[in-house]
Amino acid sequence: MNKGASASFPPAMIVDHRAECRPAPLVRQESAIIHTRIAVMRPACQNEVVMAFAIDPAVVEADVRRALSEDLGDGDLSAALVPESRRLSANIIARETLVLCGSPWAEACFRALDPHIRLDWRVAEGETAGPEAVLVEISGSARAILSAERSALNFLQTLSGTATVSAHYAALASGSRTRILDTRKTLPGLRQAQKYAVRVGGCENHRMGLYDAVLIKENHIAAAGSIGAAVAAARAGGDYLVEVEVESLDEFTQACDAGADRVMLDEFSESDLREAVGMGRPVELEVSGSVDPERLQSLLSLGVDFISVGALTKHVRASDLSLRVLD
């Protein structure tokens, strides 16, 4: 890439499945949250994973455009030291055990700077790789590889870290009726990317944002005057899933009586959780607050519908990866 040149995004960069990938509002149905985790065979084209795990290609392009713009600015001064005609081969290597995630973003970074670059993914999206595993073999413009390296690795390490943690929680919950959800506690600007990584890891998404479901919290209740008034206002606003976050058994009863679709039991004690479940109210139950792998086992024994875990995206630790030039 010459200094001052801008990244280009070829139309064929990503398979276009925008209609089916765009998130829909969570309506009041049992299938409100769709689990998109499926077995992925190594695709003939890695771009097919975009369809398999349901991410809007426009999201990938926007994320990559923003990342390259903030990193390259007017041009890569260091890569400009390499002859423009120079070509390289390189591998991206896992330095630890991880669940690979983010290949559409990484591939888009490289293709934006070299549309003819070759990427041969040795590990498919959603597969587990061990230390020293070659994730992808790359060959193309030296300048493009050097300039896109950091942005591509940033996406891969962040999303693989999210997917790896999600896979751990999904494995702990395997065989139970309880579904593990994420939250909106995501990295700014990477909401859909991180929630995609949660799905790749085997967990599920809570609402994508403030626009696709109603979650009535303490401040909403205070502003509306009561739980009943807040739920009534939500019902008048449209056919969205209406959830109420409660902090006591009394509030739990109020939320059930108001007709909430789901009640979030936030920071309840073990005894209060069991009492709420034992009431047998016809409402979906979600547990949240201070959920870690150690506490998860006891929560799963309650048989609630959902457990939301902010740590899936909030406490993400980037997976350890490196790009090694071969020649």
Is 266 among the catalytic positions? yes
The catalytically annotated residue of 28, 217, 235, 314 is 217
CA distance 111 to 139: 11
What is the helix (H) or strand (E) element at residue 110, kind and residue range?
helix 103-113
Q: Which residues does 267 contact at the CB level (< 8 Å), separation at least 6?
A: 247, 288, 289, 290
Q: How far is CA 55 from the centre of its chain?
A: 10
Is 150 among the catalytic positions? yes
The catalytically annotated residue of 150, 191, 235, 314 is 150
The catalytically annotated residue of 87, 122, 184, 185 is 185
Is 95 among the catalytic positions? no
The catalytically annotated residue of 114, 245, 261, 286 is 245
CA distance 125 to 41: 9
Is 3 among the catalytic positions? no
Task: Look at strands 87-94 and 321-325 and give their pairing.
Answer: antiparallel
CA distance 306 to 28: 15
157-191 burial: b if 16+ Cβ within 10 Å, else e? bbbbbbbbbbbbbbeebeebebbbbbbeebeeebe
CA distance 140 to 90: 9
Q: What is the DSSP string of 65-103?
A: HHHHHHHHTT--TTGGGS-TT-EEEEEEEESS-EE---H
Phi-psi region of 288 (alpha: psi -120 to 50; beta: other; left: phi over 0): beta
The catalytically annotated residue of 261, 266, 284, 286 is 266
Is 314 among the catalytic positions? no
Q: Going edge to edge, which strands form the sheet with 118-121? A: 118-121, 134-141, 87-94, 321-325
Give the residue numbers marked as catalytic: 150, 185, 217, 245, 266
